[in-house]
Amino acid sequence: MTAVSPPPLIEGRRLVKRFVASLDLAGRIAARLGSDRGAWAVHAVDGVDIAIAEGEVVGLVGESGCGKSTLGRMIAGLLEPTEGEVLFRGRSRSALTGSESRAARLAVQMIFQDPHASLNPRARIETIVGEAPIVHGLVSKNELPAYVDEMLKRVGLDPALKRRYPHQFSGGQRARIGIARALAVKPKFIVCDEAIAALDVSIQAQIINLFMDLRAAYNLTYLYISHDLGVVQHISDRIAIMYLGRIVETAPAEELFRSPNHPYAQALLAEMPRIAPNRQTFHPIKGEIPSPLDPPKGCHFHPRCPHAMERCRLEVPLLKQIAPGRLSACHLNDA
């Protein structure tokens, strides 16, 4: 990084999110009587650094419970981090005030996984798409109908349907409505959280193509969160792999798939089913993701890692550069 290069569009520094459940009444009484069950905390995200440059598509991959959605929500501004900060164009988002703060928040939008749960069932499509631009004064009331029509056309929906309700649309169409709503406030950056996971293969392809068209048309930056490695490989420039609250490896997509460095990344890519004329033989890694309530000490992956050594049990590996643009958190790289 030289001094002249612009700061990343979005950057998360040492992001931590803990979900703490305090004791209920029964628990407090039990504690008075000498129970050793205290309040528990889930370390959903455990000190993550991530920087995303303007125009880049970063894929965030991991298995369920690894904290990828929580990280996405912190970056989108829907969750406040417990520790750490999110920077927008090099300035901490929590330090911005007034119109600057609003602009920074509007520039980051999110598209959700479940098109049923994320659309108000009692609002018409024109309201769902048109509400935010009016509230934020992006368009006037007179211009709104034409603006909503344009947004719907942009995502491949017929504007004649705009007086309908979400339940009158198919899953693929609902995904498009969610995209139109996010686009309507002219964002710079979109967090897509498993946005197409619930759709059929042929419909998924339509939406992936739409994402790529929109990126080209509006110079959008994406953080694309998914457990589907095939899709992530297809659309991402760079991929970050998460395991139990930490990023274990980030690399340009092609390099990662050619030569994954971290043992978890290697296992994940080896076990990804691929379309091939020959049958695949699986050599699965043992065990399951440990509970984030009680993560293993040291490297979180060591209980499942075939190369684990004594050091892995004691010391948390740091994310270090192993090649230009490639970071990995594994003690094996020091050897």
Rule CB under 8 A: which residues touch another protein? Answer: 63-64, 170, 172, 200-206, 208-209, 212, 227, 229-231, 233-235, 253-254, 257, 267-268, 271-285, 288-289
Identify the residue whose tokens are 């406040």: 80
Q: Which is nearer to another protein, 137 or 282 (CB)?
A: 282
CB of 232 to another protein, least distance (A): 9
Give the nearer residue to another protein in terms of CB position, either 129 or 268: 268
The residue among 79 and 269 lying less far from another protein, judged by its C-beta, is 269
Cβ 281 to another protein, closest distance in Å? 8
CA distance 164 to 182: 19
Beta carbon nearer to another protein, 37 or 279: 279
Question: Pick from 70, 71, 68, 102: which is nearest to 88 by CA?
Answer: 102
Nearest to another protein of 111, 199 (CB atom): 199
Angle between helices 171-183 and 144-154 (to 10 degrees): 130
Q: How far is the CB of 270 from another protein (least distance, A)?
A: 8
List of residues 6+ apart from 4 with CB closer than 8 A:
none
Minimum distance, C-beta of residue 149 to another protein, in the bound complex (Å): 22
Distance in Å from the first CA to the final CA of the chain = 27
Q: Give CA torsion, residues 301, 305, 309, 311, to 10 deg.
A: -10
Separation between Cα atoms, residue 227 and residue 59, nearest integer Å? 10
Q: In this structure, are strands 189-193 and 221-226 parallel, antiparallel, or unpaired?
A: parallel
Taking the complex as a whole, how short is the minimal distance between the CB of residue 227 and another protein, in angstroms? 7
Closer to another protein by CB, 88 or 264: give it.
264
Token pair belonging to 71: 């990280």
CB of 202 to another protein, least distance (A): 4
Q: Which amino acid is at 4?
A: V
Per-residue b or e along 281-307, where b marks 16 or more CB atoms closer than 10 Å to that residue's CB: eeeebeeebbebeebeebbbbbebbee
